[in-house]
Structure formats: C-alpha cells, structure tokens
Structure 1
Amino acid sequence: MKNLLSIFFLILSTYANTQSKPIDSLKFINQNRIKNDLIKITQTQKSRNYQNIETLNTIADYIKSELIKVSDSVAFQPYLVNDKTYKNVIGSIGIENNERIIIGAHYDVYGNQQGADDNASGVTGLLELARLLSKEKLNYRIDFVAYTLEEPPFFRTQQMGSYIHANYLHINNIAVKGMICLEMIGYYNDIKGSQSYPIPEMNLKYGNTADFITVVQNEKSDRFGNQIGLLMKEQDLIKTILFKGSHLVRGIDYSDHLNYWNFNYPAVMVTNTSFYRNKNYHTKNDTIETLDLNKMSAVIEQLYIAIKQLK
C-alpha cells in the first residue's frame, strides 16, 4: 500500500472550484431534452443487457434517430460476438476536418436494471453535446460514439464496443486529438461522508462530500486531459477535480477510455466516481429518481464550452 500511495500521489493533480450553480444560471442546456433521453433509454420492458439484443437494438435505433437530426453522417458499427450481432452507433460532425475528438458512452447495462446513472446519464450527455456542438464551427471532427458491451462479461475483452472502435481508428491510422469517455455523470450527494476513494488518505485532499465531477486521465494523456479539465473548471458551474493516476489505482480505467489508452490515444473519463459514491451501482436502485439533473446539466454545459474552446 505504501508503494501504491507513492505512485498515486506522485502522478495525481487536482483543480477544484466551489459548487454547482442553480439550473437557471445555465445558458445552453435543455433539461426537458435530458429528461426525455433518460426516460427513453431507461424505460424499456427488458433491461438493455447483452442477453436482450432486441432491447439493445431499440436503444441503438433511438440514439441513431437523435444523432441523425444534428450530424453530418451517422452509421452503425456492427460486429459479431458468439454469432450474435451487436453494434456501436457513430454520429459525426465537422467531417471536413482531419483530426478527430471522440466522445463516447456505453449504452448497455449490467444485469436487470434501469442503469440510469450507469450509463444512461453518459449517453444522455453524449446526445446533448451532439446537439449543442453541431451548431458550432469547430477545429476538429467530432465522432459521437455510443458503445455496446462495456459491462461484464465483456469488460476488458476485445468484444467491448469501445475496443472495436479504438482498434478501427488504430488500423486506419486515423488522427485523434483525444477521447472523452462519459461514465456515470448523474449521481451526487451533498451530505458529508457520501464520498469514498480507492485510497483513504485522499479524503484529506478532496473531502468526503459527493458533490463534484472528476476528469480522470493517465500519465500519457497530460496535454489533452489538462486542457479539458482546466477549461471545464473555468466555467465554475460545478466543483471539478482532475485526477491523474496509474492503472494500479482501482477504478481509474473502469470504462471505455481503457481501450483508447491501450492504443496509446490520449483519453479522459468524465465521471462522478461511480461506486465510490453511488451505492445504487449495478443494482435495481439505479433509477432516474436518484439523479441530480441540476448538477448533471452543469457537467454537460461545462464540457460543451470546454470542447468548443479546444485549440
């Protein structure tokens, strides 16, 4: 543990601001759209897990229908697993630009549950960012990618939708400035003691209240990660912390950014820290009613402004 602490704190940095502002101070977010997306993604007859392919296809069709409204191009990226077809959904804007930014979120769930925070919140953020960024003149092509098969039993395998996509980029030598993974951005708690960490000593540095969003990066994502984190922080809409750490820290690579790191692309995970605060994680209690749409909206707006300001 001593060595792990040394590794972690040597390569960990943080930038934090104060607290989230009320929703009426946000200028760009349409909360009705956010609510509608969350309902569409979570309110299915069967859970959107790998065993219910029809449900996954229904959600993929919904994501595609929303991306078609604002994207230059939209397509499925199908692939076979155990003789069954699964698919990512990809919408692109700014296709005249060569270098890309990837914004990704997985739409499948673990087990039989709504998966409101994990990860309907991330997909909702992806869709709202597509709507907002489609109105901007950008320096980069942006691919909005909704992945399937992030959850067990496929996590850390080449059957993850994000592995399929990252490998496609690698094989085709596509220039990528960086990847932003949206993983659980909807759950917050203003009560002291509501936040825990992989290393208890982190309480002293970051506090124990689950009222913030994190931008997680590894040591190879410095430039891109710092840009995203600092630009988000500048908006001062929600307390924002930037973590930089080793894969030895449990949870730091627990999502789709893992596969972009494995192909040496700069990537960050924007997350509320998942099971380190949300005890509804991977249970039937992960419902829309547990989400804080005010803070979630602030996260999306901060990301929108940060991405359009990227140089």
Structure 2
Amino acid sequence: MAYSFLALAVSPVQASDDDIRDALLRINEDSMMADVEQLVAFDTRFTGSDSNWAAVAWIVERFESMGYSARLDSFEVNISRRANENDYIFSGLTQVNVVATRTGILSPQRKIVLGAHYDSISIDRPQSGQGVAPGADDNASGVAAILEIARVMKDLPLGMSVDFVMFGAEELGLIGSSAYAHDAREAGEEIVLMMGIDVIGTRSTVFPNAFTLDTSNPNVSLAEQFADAAETFTTVFSRDGTSNARLMVSPVGCRCSDHQSFLDRGYPAIGVFQFFTNPAEHINMSFDTIDKVDIVYAVEITRAIMAGALKIAGFPSQSPDFDGSGTVDFSDFLIFADVFGSDFLEPDEERFDLDGDGAVGFSDFLLFSESFGRTL
C-alpha cells in the first residue's frame, strides 16, 4: 500500500508539446544517414566477424564523441541455427552489447531502455559467405535512430535515466538482448519501458506513412502513448498490417526482435518496425543495401519514438540541486523549505515544483528526498 502511494506521489512532470517539438527539431537527417552509410561500409556485421568488432569500436567512438562513457557487456554465443537451408553454428563465442547511459536527474534508478541490434546476416549465403551482409535496413536504420536520439538527449533534462543499448547477436536468436534483460532482472533493475528499434528504413507500398508497434496485452496503454506521439508530432502513424488496428498486440509479443527478451522477463516492452505485413524481401539478405533505406521515413519514426520517450522520462525535469553546488544537501533543503506549501508560484519559484503540478507540496518533498545526498 505504501509503495502505491509513493508511486502516485512521484509521477513525472509532463512536457508541453512545444517543449517536445523543440527537441525533435534537433534530430538531423544528415547525421542519421551518415551513420547508416558508415555501418553499411563495414560490408558485414555478422556475429564473430572482424567487421562486427570494427562496428563495435565505431559505435563506442560515436557514443564517446557525444560525451557518453560507453561500456561493453559481454555474453557467450552457443547456437546451432538453420535458416534458408543454411546452418549457422557457434560455440563459446564471446560477443558484446554496447551500453551508454543518460542519467536521470530526479529518479536515476528508474530507466527506459532504447535498443537496436547492430549485427547483420545474409541468410541467402552460408556461414562461410557472410563477408557480404550489409544490413542497411536491418538494422543500420535502427542503430542510426538510437545514436541520433542519444545525441539529442545528451543535453536534455530528463527525470529518469535512459540506457542506449546496441545489442549483439540478435540475428542468431536475440542472444545479446536476452543476456542484458536477464542481468537486469537478476540485479533488480527498475526498467519502466524498453523500446526495440528494428528495420525502420523501407516504406510500405500500401501505407507509405505507416509503421508498426508490437507489444503484449499488458502494455497496450504504453504503446498507445507512442502511437499518439506519432500522430501529434510526425507525418507517420502506427498500424498493424494484419488487423488494421493501431497496434500489433498479442498475449506474448511477436517473438521476432529484441523487445521480446524483455517481455519474456516481465518488463514492459515495445518493438518498433516499418509497416509490418509481409517482410520486405531484402531483410536478412545480401542485397539489403543502402538504397533500401528511406532516411526521411526513418527520421520520422525516430521522432515518434523520441517524443514518446520524452513524455515517459519526465522531460523537462527540474533539478533538486537548487543552489547549484553539484550535490543535493542540507543547504538545498533549507532553500526548498522556504517555498514548501506554496500553491501560487512566482516565476523564480517554479524550479521547486519538481513534479510539475503547479504547487510545491509533499510529492515534491518525496522527489527531493530521493535525491538527497546525491551528486548530480
């Protein structure tokens, strides 16, 4: 009962539409296209290849160029998979997920995971022929989206933390995302939502401005927020290719991409795809080349994802470090106490309204107390 009350009290501030539009304007088409081109230039990102490791190094460099500290989380690949009459077999192979974190201001222990897989495969070729697996649409488009959102979010005041995760070995069975989700559950991490971005570069000939959001029944309301964000802020809209409903919903998820690893472990998760009917013929093929990516379409889906994430993450967040010392301490408490209980805020007092409800009350005190003693 106490937990429910606390959760209600610390609901995050909701951004205005103008705040979100201003942030979305920073998403840059040229930046995203350059990232897609670089990833395709590796020729292959097949699991275990030298080019796969080169792509990892490049992703780390991209995060670090934005001011993030990227880490590598290793996992082991043991798999025997048959696809399109080709066998793909690995035993004891070490691969990695690349993780960069934007730490939240008010509730850093709560997080959104935005993820995309960086590996590629050409199932029209045997394992020995994977030197050609450009993976432009699948999934350089998704990696570019995550990198661009990370770049824009770096300087935005977010209430919650965001993990930007590039997953390895997705094409062999969601192996990297399964390792991440398993470790998160074992550590008791509070993941509020996982968004997995996979194949967002090709428009449908039936609905050119449609894309698809996939989730399971318990997470429909969260997915609806992203569908709403798309309609409010972008030129694209969410649609299920089978039912023509706004969302693709099932009891367990589509079991087709990295968000499934989180659904399977009880975390709220949504998969983001180009319009999901019959998959485009180039997916997982050696001819998934740069011409398969419509960057204008990919940018609009990226904006929809970021808009929804900002709504959930508590943007823009006020800082509880009221005196600007870098630490939330007793001097901040004394400053906060002076305005506690105010229902009518002067412009210079709005920064004390941590939950954005227009007053400085008990819910703001709870948010402040969560941060007390923390260095920001």
Which interval holds the TM-score relative to the shorter structure?
0.7 to 0.9
How big is the shift at 1:33?
1.2
| Gapped regions of structure 1 (runs ≥ 5) | 1-25, 195-207
Look up the match of 1:165: 180
Aligned to 2:193: 178
What SS class does the counterpart of residue 223 from structure 1 fall into? helix
TM-score normalised by the chain length of structure 1: 0.78
Q: For the residues of structure 1 that align with 2:226 and 2:300, how far apart are their CA atoms?
A: 15
The 5 Å alignment of 1:59-208 reads 59-81=55-77, 82-95=91-104, 97-111=108-122, 112=130, 113-152=133-172, 155=173, 160-189=175-204, 194=205, 208=206
Work out which of the two has the higher radius of gyration on C-alpha atoms and give 1 or 2. 2
| Counterpart residue number, 2:225 | 227
SS at match of 1:61: helix
* Counterpart Cα distance in 2 of 1:253 and 1:210: 25
1:228 is paired with a residue whose SS is helix
Task: Tell me how far apart the structure 2 counterparts of residues 145 and 240 of structure 1 sit (CA, whole Å).
Answer: 23
Change (3 A) 1:31 1:236: closer
Q: Secondary structure at the match of 1:65?
A: helix
Tell me which of 239, 246, 250 is aligned to 1:246. Answer: 250
Take 1:30 and 1:210, find their aligned partners in 2: how far apart are those partners? 21
Number of residues of Structure 1 aligned to a counterpart in Structure 2: 260
Are residue 259 (structure 1) and residue 255 (structure 2) matched?
A: no
Name the residue aligned to 2:54. 58
Report percent identity of matched pairs: 22
Deviation, structure 1 residue 274: 5.6
Provide the C-alpha distance between the structure 2 equivalents of 1:273 and 1:255, rounded to a whole number of angstroms.
15
Q: Which has the higher contact order (CA 8 A, sep 6+)?
A: 1
TM-score, length of structure 2 as denominator length: 0.65
Cα distance between partner residues in 2 of 1:246 and 1:257 = 13
- What's the counterpart of residue 270 of structure 1? 272
Query: One-letter code of the match for 1:91?
Result: A
> 1:43, CA displacement in angstroms?
1.0
Distance 1:108 1:36 in 2: 18
* Aligned equivalents of 2:262, 2:67: Cα separation in 1: 23
Secondary structure in 2 matching 1:120: helix
C-alpha distance in structure 1 between counterparts of 2:252 and 2:111, whole Å = 29
Work out whether residues 48 and 95 of structure 2, in 8 Å CA contact, stay in contact via their aligned partners in 1.
no
Which runs of 5 or more structure 2 residues have no equivalent in the other structure? 1-23, 78-90, 123-129, 240-245, 315-376
Change over 3 Å in CA distance of 1:130–1:248 after alignment to 2: closer
State how far apart, in whole Å, the 2-side matches of 1:140 and 1:79 are.
27
Structure 1 distance, partners of 2:70, 2:310, is 21
